[in-house]
Structure 1
Amino acid sequence: MNKVLYIVILLCFSVASVNAASGEWGKKKKKKAAKEQVESKDSTSKATSTSEYEKFMKDAEVKEGMFNVIKKKDKIYLEIPKAIMNRDFLISSRVSSTSRTWQIDPGTINRDPLLITFSCDENKVYIHFPHLRYECKEDSEMYEAYKRHSNPPIWKAFKIEVLSKDSSSCVIDATSLFLSSIAEFSPFPDLPAEVRAFVPFGGTFQSDRSRIEEFKAFEDNVIVKSMMTYTTDKEGPLTTIEARNIVILPEKPMTPRYSDERVGFFEETRFLFDENQDQLQRYGIINRWDLQPKDMEKYLAGELVEPVKPIVWYVDPAIPEKWRKYVKLGIADWNIAFEAIGFKNAIVVKDYPTDDPNFDPDDIHYNCYRFVASARENSMGPSWIDPRSGEILCGDVISWYGVVTLLNKWRMIQTAAVDPSVRCPVMTDENMGEAMRYVAAHEIGHTLGLMHNFGASAAYPVEKLRDPEFTQKYGTTPSIMDYARFNYVAQPGDMEKGVKLTPPLVGEYDMFAIKYGYQVLANVESPDDEKATLRAWIKEQIGNKMCFYGQQVFQFNFDPRSQAEDLSDDVIKANTYGLKNLKYVTANFVDWMAVNDEGYAAVEGTYKEIIGQFFRFMNHAMVNVGGMYVNPKGFDDNNVQLYQYVPKNKQVEALTFVLKNLNDLPNWIVNDKVTAIVGPTAKPYVQQTQFFSEMLTREFLGRLQLNEIDGKNVFTIDDYLNIIYDYMFSRKGGSLRLCDMAFQNSFVDNLKEFMDKGEFKSAGSGKALTDYAMETTCSCHAYCESHGFNPVDPLSEIVLSPRIDRTNKRPVVMKYLRKAYQTAKARSNTGNDKTREHYRLLVLKLNYLFD
């Protein structure tokens, strides 16, 4: 076994107990046989007569299990054996049901389960948080220093009410653990402070309207369900049923497997103190299920073998049958990838059982695909893990009803130009079922440990998406973990030729990722034993675009290959096809939808999604401008370049594509059919002008400047502003449209920010270029961000740093402000009244700089 892992496990099992008399930590006790522990009375024993214990238990309701759970009146007690107090446990809280779903959804665990251990002294039982993130080898000379700051802190303490007859277990009043407001168990989403500042999330617990509802005990876990009532600013009273689980973890953790940033797995991060290295060592272990073959000999010989413990999924009967059968297919689709590495029936799909009294979807032992009757247009698939080893213990999928609405809109908007069967307000069961199957497979991928792969679709040349043979085999992307929904590249007539419009069941990348995470190797005692093999697998795939992993970047995207909702290796060409289809859909969708009351009412939502699709196309293109291709590499991958700037001609093409289409948008986005139903709308105008404003913020100019500092033959800030100026000033003569005046005002106002005291302040809200990229059918973004390492984000810090702004932004900005000033003065008497006054206002804005 790897020495590092051995020490981690040893530390977890050697959690120090608190000695109330001496106040000392970490004193090791001699090991005793289980029989001796039962028969002896150690320093934690309390002189308790049999009659006292029996008196306490009188009239109590008891459920026997790992801990005996005792209910007396309105209180819950736990009888915790001393013999297992040094074991590791997980404790979690799941929302079972709720009176509303605006903030809280049934089935969710809105805080990660906690790793805990127990200890006791003569008077109290303590719950500790073991340390995992930082490690030090026991034979290291630094180990004593490490121990001095690695004591497991006390999270909770409980008075011992009584000891068992033989003093081998402690009974504590645990009511507060199950019937009180605990931050680590909050049912409310853990949202960023900037969101909570504007939206009143959260609530205040009301104990007088709360009670214990149900409790269960099993050999390796206990569950206590409580009715919890809160008052909220927005909703008034809110009542939930919350199920809190305590689960004992395996005495011997699963052997971890090292992560690699070139394969997208959620991971647990570790830091190692080692005097043989000159810096703190960082490594990650991936999240994965512990799949082991029943017959290792046959497995290693290449035969298909069933796992010792398959991954069993239970599907909510509340999902309508017409969709449920497709959800089951989507779950089972992953067996394709597991069969390729030797596992038969690795994933088993079942309905909620009706003949199993122990089945409980609130039990963390059961993997459930749940349905929430909510208009929220989303779905998510988190998993809950043993943080010691990365072993996935439970997977959940939450599917909101509203995802059907979103899939309906996307399927029609992206493919109705070529597929007449989706030109309707309600999709056929087959079309919607296929879409639901895709969503199910994507979310199950998350529960297998896989992160989003936003770079996958960049493997396909554009024209291959119009090739019947290619699309039938490969779909729209090499990864179901990508956001490549439907084939908006396909043109009228392509479908009749056999072009496929939907993603694959499981893609080429997915097959490789499952191999990396789950293929069992012989004679592995520690993660170091398989490290060389894993690296060899990755090196074999270098240059194979089908297996490229593109990370989900959370702050500011640089790599045009790694984007949500895009298709192909050339988004300009792909989105040109897509825009042609989108214009056709915009001209006709009202006729397709408004055939009954339901379709009529849905027109407005569909129209908003059409606008959203347009700005996704624009956003895809803008990532090329100042962008770079980021290629994670190992130390010996000599033929791999860590980064390459997007070629200058590609950046020019992308910018002109955006400017041309922003200017053209008013010519087709609104028509009489739309306004006859939705009424007058300013949404396209608002989004159009806001998007342009974002193109002139310091984030974009900083990205270009990084190119300019580091590269050769690059697309400079001067080049960028010159093209924008040409489109927004030079080419516009006579009387201006409202959007033309807005573009010119944004140009001046944003560039002025670089010349005033607010020189480095972003004039925009940072919203227009990100909103549509993040409106997706998967809510796993926060989970991805907190459980994965992202090496691209540090580049954002460089671009956003004001220290590089002073070198050459101001002179270039000054050049184009002067041009705008001179143009405005020259045109002050041209065009209609509004146009003339517009130019005079621009002159007034810039007078202080030039006169």
Structure 2
Amino acid sequence: MKSIVYIITVLLCFSVTCVNASNSSWGKKKKKKAGTEKVESSDSTSKAVSTSEYEKFMKDAVVKKGMFNVIKKKDKIYLEIPKAIMSRDFLISSRVSSTSRTWQIDPGTINRDPLLITFSCDENKVYIHFPHLDYVCKESSEMYEAYKRHSNPPIWKAFKIEVMSKDSSSCVIDATPLFLSSIAEFSPFPDLPAEVRMMIPFGGSFQSDRSKIEEFKAFEDNIIVKSMMTYTTDKEGPLTTIEARNIIILPEIPMVPRYADERIGFFEESRKLFDEHHDRLQQYGIINRWDLQPKDMDKYLAGELVEPVKPIVWYVDPAIPEKWRKYVKLGIADWNIAFEAIGFKNAIVVKDYPTDDPNFDPDDIHYNCYRFVASTRENSMGPSWIDPRSGEILCGDVISWYGVVTLLNKWRMIQTGAVDPSVRCPVMTDENMGEAMRYVAAHEIGHTLGLMHNFGASAAYPVEKLRDPEFTQKYGTTPSIMDYARFNYVAQPGDLEKGVKLTPPLIGEYDKFAIKYGYQVLPNVKSADDEKEILRGWVREQIGNKMCFYGKQVFQFNFDPRSMAEDLGDDVVKANTYGLKNLKYVAANFVDWMAVNDEGYAAVESTYKEIIGQFVRFMDHAMVSVGGMYINPKYYGDPEPLYQYVPKAKQIAALKFVLKNLNELQDWIINDKITAIIGPTAKHYVAQTQFFNEMLTRETLGRLQINEVDGKNVFTLDEYLGIIFDEMFTKKTGNLQLADMAFQNSFVENLTGYMDKGEFKSAGSNSLREWLNETTCSCHAYCESHHSFDAVDALGEIVLSPRIDKSNKRPIVMKYLRKTYNTAKSRMNTGNDKTREHYRLLVLKLNYLFD
């Protein structure tokens, strides 16, 4: 970006001390010096209004010069905004610098998207506008005048002009309300769904009497104002934060955008184009990416490695302990593997926070910082902040909570403890933990490069290849570290000694291709249209290459068993059978590994819960195949069908796998070693019953009906309920166990919920989230809040199983309620007393239908 320096001329009678504004241009981390001056005015009898008013206003003011001059008078902040740049585009953001309570707000976070703004003024006021971006029209279009009539930028804020500069070239406004008040668009509180806010007290009321301006800076392309902000909350008492609000000027000429493609996963900005050459509104996306350009284009195009004009520089928080920090740096730099494959040398540079640069500020949106938060939250996240006009990434952030160390400890031990003796301990070795931290760092940096999760990646590998030393050493557990592939739970005892790798790759094959799509520079490109066909050709060449398959992260109604979180391999039943074998070994022995000191003793309960969570995850993976379909984003000419149903045999095998293992869970999940430390527990029982309830929800049954309506040789709802009935009733003779009675009772309560009347209502969908939430990193939450996808994207409303009316299920449901009634009635006098009373209760619940 071109440097812009504005110098305000003052009268000779002013006593001025001034330090030059920043010499750095956008994205370069040269030293920036904030210009500061204190202005003192002598008495004046001048009648010149433009002089005397400005002079009086500036008396005793502290001024920092830059893009806007920032003026502090007493407890107020004023901005002197040059008229010449008011029509330029700016970005304004608010970052939490520090906080008095980390569980509710985390330091370093920007909890609302930065806003694109412009300024305008008249003789009385300065206005802040929001430019339109969602709907666009080319200036060359004959429709452009019509488009302009409904696309005036609305006014967001207005400020009275306090005074004009001497030559009337700039306006001074009281901007205190912009930096020291509660503004919804700048809220420090996470923007959580309403149902979450109802349960957790996120939010508070701003208290102006306990808030103040702390610090302000001005540079040639941005300003920063930091304020101490205090809020009161209903239950938690006062909360005080330091919030840094940035305003930056954007490039006068935006970066040339690059079109998105549904077959490869980038965060994107959506556009809707009015164009007379088409008969309907055109919709497209532009991807989020850094503006990487080679220093020497000729050498770059000739195939030589060339450094970029502006490398992506990352600064690593010194608060990360050195034993982990060195691995974090390696994880960040690992992406250079992908950039070197497309001709860039040192595209990513990793540094510590500088100690010799007084202008370095992690709160400045110019700096990409990998931050560490002292919190037990078991997560990391990697958002990026963009120029919404072009998709250019301006800043990346990674927030890593201390609790992620705890999470990695549990993952590594639970998923590979049966295979790797070195992880059987309450505290991981520096090498094991460092390797895991490196993976987390690389994953989060991938997000800051614009990459979304690729949950379809790990399904590329045949399960047996995950036990192949040569294959795993070369490819790891997944072709993309943007998947949630985790560690190699397929490997069996003895495989490690043969050379099988237990961890993900540094950078996967898909990751390299995605970086090529987003960052390879093509010659003579003046607009996104110039390279569109070349990019589509690259993607089309990879169709059929499983290593480069992209599977969207689906937040509702996941139908595609290839695109799941935390799975491995192309056969879920086979992979999870291996995984369960290992998990049973871990469950039988983890107390001996953990309870060797106070730390390990205290961690037994949380580890036990995570073992149950891993079991639930294995079951959940299998159930996605039941009623599932393979979904392929499709462009004209692509050879693959839009969707294919999961073969019937695979669906049946998945269901039987789940029922078998639900029935057997109590045989191995709990033992005397565990209860001796955590006491009596029913956690496994709760997980069993909740999962069984999930198997009978309208969403699950609706999936099967969609198959039945549209498919051939499909797994029907009748067959599904028949297999469940046989496992839970026909094969359960004699005295019943507690879990057996729970399953049968759940079967009745859920199915009666599909009938219009009846005293007993459906048990409904009891959430399994409590068993899975510890392994959902907050980059998941970021992706969900900023770029939500579900199966509707590819297939439309047909895949929304709740839209199948429950009356369509009733004939089949009635059939199995009748079978249940007859079975229970015939067994009312068999078994022990508890079993007999159980069957009598089922009969009582169903009498209203059949008696």
TM-score tier (shorter): over 0.9
Contact 1:136 1:272 in 2 (8 A): yes
In 2, the alpha carbon distance for the partners of 1:420 and 1:142 equals 69
In 1, the alpha carbon distance for the partners of 2:846 and 2:279 equals 55
CA deviation string 1:745-802 (max 9, x = no partner):
110111111112599997423512x555554353122432354473623558435465
In structure 2, the residue corresponding to 1:69 is in which secondary structure? Answer: strand
CA deviation string 1:414-448 (max 9, x = no partner):
00101000000000000000000000000000000
In 2, the alpha carbon distance for the partners of 1:339 and 1:67 equals 40
- Output aligned runs, 1:33-112, within 5 Å: 48-112=49-113
Q: In 2 relative to 1, CA 47–567 (structure 1 residues): closer, same or farther, beyond 3 Å?
A: farther
Give the corresponding residue for 2:222: 221
Find out whether 1:452 has 2:468 as its counterpart: no
In 2, the alpha carbon distance for the partners of 1:290 and 1:766 equals 46
Q: In 2 relative to 1, CA 789–841 (structure 1 residues): closer, same or farther, beyond 3 Å?
A: closer
Q: In 2 relative to 1, CA 260–401 (structure 1 residues): closer, same or farther, beyond 3 Å?
A: same
Paired amino acid for 1:779: S
In 2, the alpha carbon distance for the partners of 1:295 and 1:414 equals 47
Aligned length: 804
Contact 2:307 2:344 in 1 (8 A): yes
Contact 2:265 2:552 in 1 (8 A): yes
In structure 2, the residue corresponding to 1:629 is in which secondary structure? Answer: strand
Residue 735 of structure 1 and its aligned partner are, at CA, apart by 1.1
Paired amino acid for 1:729: F
Contact 1:306 1:343 in 2 (8 A): yes
Contact 1:698 1:800 in 2 (8 A): no
Residue 106 of structure 1 and its aligned partner are, at CA, apart by 0.2
In 2, the alpha carbon distance for the partners of 1:762 and 1:238 equals 42
Contact 2:698 2:801 in 1 (8 A): no
Paired amino acid for 1:375: T
Q: In 2 relative to 1, CA 195–786 (structure 1 residues): closer, same or farther, beyond 3 Å?
A: closer
In 2, the alpha carbon distance for the partners of 1:758 and 1:77 equals 68
Give the corresponding residue for 2:735: 735
Find out whether 1:684 has 2:684 as its counterpart: yes
Residue 700 of structure 1 and its aligned partner are, at CA, apart by 0.4
Residue 237 of structure 1 and its aligned partner are, at CA, apart by 0.5
CA deviation string 1:262-302 (max 9, x = no partner):
11000000001223322211000000000000000000000
Paired amino acid for 1:364: I
Give the corresponding residue for 1:16: none
Give the corresponding residue for 2:27: none
In 2, the alpha carbon distance for the partners of 1:803 and 1:602 equals 44
Contact 1:315 1:328 in 2 (8 A): yes
In structure 2, the residue corresponding to 1:825 is in which secondary structure? Answer: helix
Give the corresponding residue for 2:29: none
Give the corresponding residue for 1:544: 545
CA deviation string 1:701-731 (max 9, x = no partner):
1000000000000000001000000110001
Paired amino acid for 2:479: P
Contact 1:163 1:170 in 2 (8 A): yes
Find out whether 1:701 has 2:701 as its counterpart: yes
Q: In 2 relative to 1, CA 362–806 (structure 1 residues): closer, same or farther, beyond 3 Å?
A: closer
Paired amino acid for 2:644: Q
Find out whether 1:323 has 2:319 as its counterpart: no
In structure 2, the residue corresponding to 1:208 is in which secondary structure? Answer: helix
In structure 1, the residue corresponding to 2:230 is in which secondary structure? Answer: strand
Residue 636 of structure 1 and its aligned partner are, at CA, apart by 1.2
Find out whether 1:442 has 2:447 as its counterpart: no
Give the corresponding residue for 1:15: none
In structure 1, the residue corresponding to 2:280 is in which secondary structure? Answer: coil
Find out whether 1:499 has 2:500 as its counterpart: yes
Give the corresponding residue for 2:119: 118
Paired amino acid for 2:91: L
Give the corresponding residue for 2:39: none
Residue 738 of structure 1 and its aligned partner are, at CA, apart by 1.0
In structure 2, the residue corresponding to 1:159 is in which secondary structure? Answer: strand
Give the corresponding residue for 2:784: 785
In 2, the alpha carbon distance for the partners of 1:562 and 1:391 equals 28
Find out whether 1:235 has 2:239 as its counterpart: no
Paired amino acid for 1:428: T
Contact 1:564 1:773 in 2 (8 A): no
In 1, the alpha carbon distance for the partners of 2:536 and 2:173 equals 50
Residue 808 of structure 1 and its aligned partner are, at CA, apart by 3.6
CA deviation string 1:575-609 (max 9, x = no partner):
00000000000000000010011110011111110
CA deviation string 1:463-486 (max 9, x = no partner):
100000000000000001000110
Give the corresponding residue for 2:40: none
In 2, the alpha carbon distance for the partners of 1:791 and 1:103 equals 28
CA deviation string 1:26-72 (max 9, x = no partner):
xxxxxxxxxxxxxxxxxxxx994212111111111100000000000
TM-score using structure 2 length: 0.93
In structure 2, the residue corresponding to 1:228 is in which secondary structure? Answer: strand
Q: In 2 relative to 1, CA 156–759 (structure 1 residues): closer, same or farther, beyond 3 Å?
A: farther
In structure 1, the residue corresponding to 2:241 is in which secondary structure? Answer: strand
Paired amino acid for 1:218: F
Contact 2:792 2:800 in 1 (8 A): no
In structure 2, the residue corresponding to 1:693 is in which secondary structure? Answer: helix
In 1, the alpha carbon distance for the partners of 2:764 and 2:658 equals 18
- Output aligned runs, 1:274-673, within 5 Å: 274-637=275-638, 639-673=639-673
Paired amino acid for 2:821: Y
Contact 2:693 2:765 in 1 (8 A): no
Q: In 2 relative to 1, CA 460–307 (structure 1 residues): closer, same or farther, beyond 3 Å?
A: same
Q: In 2 relative to 1, CA 689–114 (structure 1 residues): closer, same or farther, beyond 3 Å?
A: same
Paired amino acid for 2:661: N
Give the corresponding residue for 2:246: 245
Contact 1:48 1:163 in 2 (8 A): no
Residue 147 of structure 1 and its aligned partner are, at CA, apart by 2.1
Paired amino acid for 2:445: I
CA deviation string 1:517-557 (max 9, x = no partner):
00000000000000010011011101000000010001111
Paired amino acid for 2:432: N
Q: In 2 relative to 1, CA 773–797 (structure 1 residues): closer, same or farther, beyond 3 Å?
A: farther
Percent identity, please. Answer: 86
Paired amino acid for 1:725: F
Q: In 2 relative to 1, CA 151–594 (structure 1 residues): closer, same or farther, beyond 3 Å?
A: same
Contact 1:741 1:838 in 2 (8 A): yes
Paired amino acid for 2:652: V
Q: In 2 relative to 1, CA 192–785 (structure 1 residues): closer, same or farther, beyond 3 Å?
A: same
Find out whether 1:131 has 2:150 as its counterpart: no
In 1, the alpha carbon distance for the partners of 2:773 and 2:711 equals 31
In structure 1, the residue corresponding to 2:195 is in which secondary structure? Answer: helix
In structure 1, the residue corresponding to 2:775 is in which secondary structure? Answer: coil
In 2, the alpha carbon distance for the partners of 1:376 and 1:793 equals 32
In structure 1, the residue corresponding to 2:172 is in which secondary structure? Answer: strand
In 2, the alpha carbon distance for the partners of 1:748 and 1:321 equals 57
In structure 2, the residue corresponding to 1:780 is in which secondary structure? Answer: helix
In 2, the alpha carbon distance for the partners of 1:758 and 1:350 equals 67
Q: In 2 relative to 1, CA 803–777 (structure 1 residues): closer, same or farther, beyond 3 Å?
A: closer
Contact 1:760 1:802 in 2 (8 A): no
Residue 211 of structure 1 and its aligned partner are, at CA, apart by 0.3
Contact 2:760 2:845 in 1 (8 A): no
Q: In 2 relative to 1, CA 120–793 (structure 1 residues): closer, same or farther, beyond 3 Å?
A: same
In 1, the alpha carbon distance for the partners of 2:359 and 2:692 equals 58
Structure 2: tracts of 5 or more residues without a match: 1-46
In 2, the alpha carbon distance for the partners of 1:275 and 1:812 equals 52
Contact 1:287 1:391 in 2 (8 A): yes
Structure 1: tracts of 5 or more residues without a match: 1-45
In structure 2, the residue corresponding to 1:197 is in which secondary structure? Answer: helix
Find out whether 1:208 has 2:209 as its counterpart: yes
Find out whether 1:192 has 2:225 as its counterpart: no
Contact 1:382 1:447 in 2 (8 A): yes
CA deviation string 1:820-839 (max 9, x = no partner):
00000000011111111111
Contact 1:103 1:201 in 2 (8 A): yes
Contact 2:693 2:766 in 1 (8 A): no
Paired amino acid for 1:642: L
In structure 2, the residue corresponding to 1:158 is in which secondary structure? Answer: strand
TM-score using structure 1 length: 0.93
In 2, the alpha carbon distance for the partners of 1:508 and 1:799 equals 31
